Each structure stands twice: as structure tokens, then as C-alpha cells.
Structure 1
Amino acid sequence: MTTTDAHPTTTIEADPDVPTVRMVREFDAPRELVYRAHVDPELVRQWMGPHSIAMDIEVWDMRTGGEYRYTATRDGEEIAHFYGAVHRVDENERIVQTFGFEEMPDAVSLDTLTFHELPGGRTRLEALSVVYDFEARAGMLASGMEVGVDEGYAALDDVLARLGGAAERA
């Protein structure tokens, strides 16, 4: 479990019996905005990953049967390459995709992101990643994923606040 003073808690759990990672995070924004921030490449670019990383999105086709590919850069240098296939998208409710990392080819995961509407215009995001074996999961957890998740979700809070403010002004 992780938390920061300015942002809600992100829970990251590794099941001891099954090679999965489950993450849960609540956002002070309506489900439609949280979902939009996951499927709109211009918004994704603003929040995903650690602060020290920029994203160069080559493909971002978040629809059933779509795909994505992006490169993470730091100070203009390519440091990681990510890709996946989008298996199912239920608008504002769920995304099922694979997640691959070229530098760790055996650590491909099947990820399900579920967007739960909460009272008061809030959203709970649950993400479940299933990997091939415990070794692949250990590599995933050791990769610095927690920092990227925490910093990314904190940036997502800021993006959602801007989107919410823009929606209120419209």
C-alpha cells in the first residue's frame, strides 16, 4: 500500500497463491472523466508513469481489437518500449488489454481495468494484472512500478481536476 500527503492511497497487492497484482485507487472525479483519461492519448501522455519520464506515443487505439505502443524517454533518451493489444473496451466501465515491455519480454500481463462509479461523483479504479509466473511478477514489482503508479496517479488527479474545472465552465 502506498500513499502521499496530497493524494489518495493506492493499494498494490500481490496475491501469494496466484501470479497477479491488484491495484485499487479512488479519484475525486466522475467515472466518465477517469475513463476518458485512460483512452485519450493526449491525456494519457500527461499523467502516465513517473515524473522523470515522458511518453512518445506511436499508436493509441483504445477500442476492442485495438493496440497501443509507446516509448518512455528521459532527457530525450529512449529508456523503455511498451506495447499491447486491446481485447475489450466497455465504454466508461472496463478495459481488457495485454501489457508488454520489450526489455522484459517474459513479463507480459493481461490487465483488466474496471471503473466503478461511487457516490459524490467519485470513481474507484481497480486494475488486475495476471502474469505467466511468479518470477515474471517479481520482475514487474521490482521494476519500480510502484513509483510510476504513485506519481502517475498523482498527475492523473491534477489532469482530472483540470478536466472537471473545464467541464464546470462549459
Structure 2
Amino acid sequence: MITLLTTPADRELVITRTFDAPPARVWEAWTKPEHVRQWYGVAALPTVISDVDLTVGGAWRWGQKAPDGREIAFSGTYEEIVPNERLVYTEVFELMPGPPVHVTLTFDDTPDGGTALTSTSIWPSSEIRDQALATGMEAGVKEEYDRLAAYLETM
């Protein structure tokens, strides 16, 4: 499966990927800390943070530990939760704090029983979005989604 990143509008980033698992399983892998620890981030770094308070207004924080001991963490707050269908939240990269990114994830059924996952994020500016993309974000996202796909096969 292909993970595709596109920039259809000035401050927008859309990530799409189809997974060979039903929406309920993809949702569970995305929202339960014990599952997040198994696939989140890049394989070269251990995932040491996966806190999830899956309530509207609840906080989440996911992160990995760099070789120098630094935490590379993202965090935010849940704004809307529709189990197995839609998750809306804010996201901040803690090493570069600033205005949050607003993310909407949709978990759509596919005709073959899989899930089309779409992440639509609205960034504070096109410059910030483009800076994030320039850091190698696309390769990291693709690796992470490949890891999620492999993990889903084991659930």
C-alpha cells in the first residue's frame, strides 16, 4: 500500500493510506497506548511515551527517545471523537512549540473490508507546514504507516 502526502491548499497537508484491517481495528491501534507503543514513530528509536486520554478535551502525548536521551514528542488535545469513524485533535511538536496544527482523521470502510485512513491537517501557516515537510517528515510518516500496517496484521 502507498502512503501519499499532498498539499491541496495553502496551509493543508493530507496523508492517505489504505490498511488491510477494518476501521475498528485501525481505530484501536491508533487510540490505545499499548498498541501505539508497537508501531508509532521510526523503528530506529524506542517509543517511550504513549499517553491517551480519549475524551473530548482529553490530552494525548506520543514520543520516542533519541540516542542522546532527548524526548522527541508530539502532544495535543482531543476536540471530537466518533469511535471507529473520526478523530479531531490538536498537535504540537514539543521541540518546536508554537501554534498547534489541527488534525482530522477519518477511518472509512473500503469495499474489501479494509480502512482508508485520511489525515487532514491545517497548519498555522504554509511556511511552517513546508518547514516540517523539509525536515524529512514524508519519509518518517511513510515508515510509521508501514509499521502500523505490519502491526495491524498481528492484532
Shorter-normalised TM-score: what interval? Answer: over 0.9
Amino acid of the structure 2 residue aligned with 1:27: F
Q: Which residue of 2 is the match for residue 12 of structure 1?
A: 5
Give a deviation string over 1:24-56, Cα, whole Å, max 9, x none.
Answer: 100011111011110011111111111112222
Q: Quick one: distance in 2 between partners of 1:75 and 1:96? A: 32
Residue 72 (str. 1) matches residue 64 (str. 2): yes
Q: Write out the 4+ residue segments of structure 1 that deviate beyond 4 Å after TM superposition.
A: none
Tell me the TM-score normalised to structure 2 length: 0.92
Task: Tell me: CA distance 1:13–1:39, structure 2 relative to 1, closer, same or farther (3 Å).
Answer: same
Matched, 1:82 2:74: yes
- Alpha-carbon shift at residue 107 of structure 1 (Å): 5.7
Deviation at 1:13, TM superposition (A): 0.3
Structure 2: which 5+ residue stretches go unaligned? none
Q: CA deviation at 1:79?
A: 4.2
- Size of the alignment, in residue pairs? 155
Work out whether residues 4 and 16 of structure 2, in 8 Å CA contact, stay in contact via their aligned partners in 1: yes
Amino acid at match of 1:108: P
> How far apart are 1:58 and its partner, in Å?
5.8
Q: Give 1:34-73 correspondences, 5 Å limit.
A: 34-57=26-49, 59-73=51-65
CA contact (8 A) 2:51 2:60 kept: yes
Q: For 1:26, give the aligned amino acid.
A: T
Match of 2:91 in 1: 99
User: How far has the Cα of 1:23 moved from its partner?
Assistant: 0.6
**Contact between 1:96 and 1:113, CA under 8 Å: does it hold in 2?**
yes
Look at both structures and tell me which one has the larger radius of gyration over its CA atoms.
Answer: 1
| Cα contact 2:37–2:50 (8 A) shared by 1 | no
Q: 2:140 aligns with which of 148, 159, 166?
A: 148
**Cα distance in structure 1, aligned partners of 2:53 and 2:37:** 14
- Three-state SS of the structure 1 residue aligned to 2:47 is strand
Contact 1:11–1:25 at 8 Å: present in 2 too?
yes
- The answer to whether the 8 Å contact 2:72/2:94 transfers is yes
- Check if 1:115 corresponds to 2:107: yes
1: CA distance between counterparts of 2:146 and 2:99?
25
In angstroms, what is the RMSD of aligned CA positions? Answer: 1.6
Name the CA distance, whole Å, in 1 between partners of 2:50 and 2:119: 24
Percent identity, aligned pairs only, is 34
Equivalent AA in structure 1 for residue 13 of structure 2: V
| 1:143 CA drift (Å) | 2.5
